[in-house]
Chain A
Amino acid sequence: MAHASAVLRAEQVSKRFGTVKALDGISLDVAAGECVALIGESGSGKSTLLRCFNRLTDPDSGRVLIDGVDAAGLDPIALRRRIGYVPQEGGLLPHWRVRRNVALVPWLQSQPDATVRADRALGLVGLDTAVLGDRWPAELSGGQRQRVAVARALAAEPRVILLDEPFGALDAITRADLQNTFRRLRGTLGITALLVTHDVQEAVLLADRIAVVRDGRLEQVAPSSELLRSPATEYVRELLRRARAIE
């Protein structure tokens, strides 16, 4: 399944935390412009895999490649600055105003027009810069905060973005709004994305391919429609069945 144009690639990646095997020989490719969703239960290892791609975690064995280059040889700080990241709870700096939060990565990169880029990114996610730019994060709604987090991840115009359950804490309507925004943005920007979620619907809606993670292994990797049509294992079938039941 190796792909010539893979932007993100994991090769036989394993990771232990104490006695717990978080990742057990996982291999995965994400092609340029593609969005892959990692779904699975809590503790399945999906977030750990995501964190290997910006070196928040380093694998015990196996390799992680970014644009074909072994991530182990890359400076983690520089790497993180060129990969967008959206954490679950937004993770906005509470003592920085919205505009400064969004300008973070361009500022870290010493770009002179960091503020301009921040305003542009805020516009992309559909926020009114004039109204919200000077607010504190605490003055925003949960949905607005998460939009700001997405804008912050995009402000330095990265080619790759990692999202760790980005919309999980939002109510259904707000989540749907944000999902639509994200879909639209991906279409416009052609960005490569790896998305961790426990929500099958979200995976189906946003991702080109879905990777089902269970106990540190990949249960099935397939385009969304194929996964829905023909689940490869009993576990995947059960996962889909439960998702439909909730629906």
Chain B
Amino acid sequence: MIAPPFPGSRSWGVLLALGLGSHSVVPAQNAEQRPIVVASKPFGESYILCEMFAQLLEARGFSVDRRPGLGATEIAFGALRTGAIDVYPEYTGTGLLAILHQRPSADPGEVYRKVSREFRERYGVRWLPPLGFQNTYAIAVRRETAQRLKLSTLSDLARAGPTLRAGLTPDFIGRPDGLPGLAGAYGLRFASVRALLPAIKYQALAAGEVDVIDGYSTDGLIARYDLVVLRDDRGFFPPYEAAALVSSLMSQQLPAAVAALSELSGQLNETGMRQLNRRLEVEREPVARVAADALRDLGLVGQASRRETGGRAQGGLGPYLWEQRLTIARLTGRHLFLVAVSLAAAVALALPLGLALERHPRSAESVIRAVGLLQTIPSIALLALMIPLLGIGVIPALVALFLYSLFPILRNTYTGVREAAREAVGAATALGMTPGQVLRYVRLPLAAPIIMAGIRTAAVINVGTATLAAFIGAGGLGDPIASGLALSDTRMILSGALPAALLALAVDGLLGVCEAMVRPAFGGLTPPRRSG
């Protein structure tokens, strides 16, 4: 369930032949035959719904391309709006507040009608009828805290808030339907607010590191940690009805598939969903099996899913890593592919550019600074910006990694050839070397270790940044990290993070050897000045 299948070819030639634009889904001549791209956001429930959509479509004879765990709302919706994906599960309240930026209303029917109309008019995107359950924010505290401070509602929390430490997801801290709105509606204040990833917030709460967290009302983990969910007594949170959100392309091309997905409408309820979440997040069953069982119980799919695999291994990290070794190897290969191709492209551009700038020092600083600005764009934001242009998947990831690699290589190339032993350069020129010969025989050999160090820096940064490529469906070792974060599964996180760390060390070591190899034999750029 972790990794989407590789969408292109591993060969660079084919990849280049594909071109940049052709990756995003374009209307096919025979629309019935193209795979339907089913995606999810990076949390457990979204994975389950995504897998249910996928299996249902497969059972109805459609071919499916799974892209689970796309970034967050802006990335998933951006991909849907541009047709890079066809369908993903979304919540009406989120659509209203986070995408349309409109004020909430307490009536679920009204919210659904509003998002349906606005999304169709603005984006051509279609909300299928709700699946039948709501998953609203659940502000939770430990049972002990609730009893000690007599907390049962959010109004109670507003009273006790100043003595409590909150650990909230970054998403919640920023969203208008999150902390800012909540603070306004209840006059809520905390002693401190810490940003915590979903993966660790429950543990942090259970361990007493924080006192209040934001969860989802259908979270399987709320029961596992015996938490108390505080009632939204002023009705601040809008209704978050889950529904399939369908791209305009799919609506037009595949009405039969849309009809198949509609079979799920109204079929689920909160109790049932909480159970499914619990099986995934607490009992750690594979998502394919959880989804298959759910579809079978609903009578929508006859036999068990073809994709069903064995249960996720219980027990220690070692056995888990061993069991996942083939997956890890495949993801490592993909990761290396992302790093190698983007790095090679960056070298191919930044190296000649750095050499060219050496001849034009006046424009050099501004060019290098402009490239440096790219470095300041947060990686997730850059990936999100790519979606309208390049869709999701390998290509935008390669472009983003390429852009991040430029600066260290460009900077080091320029500085290296510029600063390389000026006296030697002067003498070589005075004795009749052409500028080209000076570059080839003097500047480049002397700058080689510095240039190599720039490439090495870019490569190591790249290995780390490439883990984020999972959020736009490019695969690699970020896949288990993203899934593990979503499912609070430490072993899964480590099955991506450990190989990524080892890969970074290996790449650093290997390029360190290359750096030593290109270092001129005299052992330094400036020979020691000895007198006498």
A residues adjacent to B (C-beta < 8 A): 54, 56, 77-81, 85, 87, 89-95, 104-105, 108, 136-138, 140-143, 149, 152-153, 169-171, 174
Contact = CB atoms under 8 A, between A and B. Distances in A.
B421 interface: yes
A94 B520 contact: yes
A91 B424 contact: yes
A91 B530 contact: no
Given A92-B424, A92-B427, A95-B522, 13 more contacts: A77-B434, A78-B432, A81-B432, A91-B423, A91-B424, A93-B421, A93-B441, A95-B521, A108-B431, A108-B437, A138-B524, A141-B530, A170-B531
Nearest to A155: B431
Interface in B453-502: none
B531 A87 contact: no
Nearest to B435: A77
A138 B525 CA distance: 10
Given A87-B423, A138-B527, A95 B431 contact: no
B527 A94 contact: yes
A127 B64 CA distance: 79
B532 A80 contact: no
B432 A90 contact: no
A130 B426 CA distance: 28
Contacts of B523: 138
A19 to B, nearest CB: 19
A77 B524 contact: no
Interface in B411-447: 421, 423-424, 426-434, 437, 441-442, 445-446
A227 B527 CA distance: 40
Nearest to A105: B431
Contacts of B421: 93-94
28 contacts: A77-B434, A79-B432, A81-B431, A81-B432, A85-B431, A87-B423, A87-B430, A90-B427, A91-B427, A91-B428, A93-B421, A94-B446, A94-B524, A95-B445, A95-B521, A104-B428, A105-B432, A108-B432, A108-B437, A136-B522, A136-B527, A138-B522, A138-B523, A138-B527, A140-B530, A142-B529, A152-B431, A174-B531
A56 B429 contact: yes
A169 B423 CA distance: 14
Interface of B: 421, 423-424, 426-434, 437, 441-442, 445-446, 520-532
A132 to B, nearest CB: 14
Given A94-B527, A95-B445, A143-B532, A137 B430 contact: no
B424 A93 contact: yes
B130 to A, nearest CB: 71
A104 B431 contact: yes
A241 B522 CA distance: 45
B91 to A, nearest CB: 64
Contact of B430 (A56, A140, A143, A174): A56
Contact of B427 (A87, A138, A140, A142): A87
A56 B432 CA distance: 10
A139 to B, nearest CB: 8
Contacts of B526: 94
A94 B432 contact: no
A142 B530 contact: yes
B530 A94 contact: no
Given A78-B432, A141-B530, A89 B423 contact: yes
Contacts of A143: 532
A143 B530 CA distance: 9
A148 to B, nearest CB: 11
A222 B531 CA distance: 34
A138 B526 CA distance: 9
A95 B448 CA distance: 11
Q: Is the interface of B mostly helix, strand, loop or mixed?
A: loop
B447 to A, nearest CB: 11
B70 to A, nearest CB: 50
Nearest to B531: A142
Nearest to B425: A91
A105 B430 CA distance: 10
Contacts of A152: 431
Closest 5 CB pairs of A and B: A91-B427, A138-B527, A95-B520, A81-B432, A80-B432
A77 B432 CA distance: 5
A94 B437 contact: no
A171 B531 contact: yes
Nearest to B519: A95
B434 to A, nearest CB: 6
Contacts of B429: 56, 80
A136 B524 CA distance: 11
A56 B520 CA distance: 28
B522 A85 contact: no
Contacts of B442: 93
Contacts of B434: 77
A125 B215 CA distance: 84
A137 B529 CA distance: 10
A104 B522 CA distance: 18
A81 B531 CA distance: 29
Contacts of A94: 421, 424, 446, 520, 522, 524-527
A142 B532 contact: yes
Nearest to B525: A94
B427 A85 contact: yes
Contacts of B530: 140-142
B516 to A, nearest CB: 14
A197 B164 CA distance: 79
Contacts of B531: 141-142, 169-171, 174
A19 B427 CA distance: 27
- Highest count of chain A CB atoms <10 Å: which of B423, B525, B526: B423
Contacts of A141: 530-532
Contacts of A108: 431-433, 437
Contacts of B433: 77, 104, 108
B428 A93 contact: yes
Contacts of B525: 94
Contacts of A78: 432
Contacts of A149: 427
A202 to B, nearest CB: 17
A170 to B, nearest CB: 7
B448 to A, nearest CB: 9
Contacts of B445: 95
A85 to B, nearest CB: 4
A149 B442 CA distance: 16
- Highest count of chain B CB atoms <10 Å: which of A81, A138, A142, A149: A138
B426 A87 contact: yes
Nearest to B422: A91
Contact of B527 (A56, A85, A137, A171): A137
Contacts of B431: 80-81, 85, 104-105, 108, 152-153
A149 B525 CA distance: 19
A56 B428 CA distance: 11
- Highest count of chain B CB atoms <10 Å: which of A90, A94, A108: A94
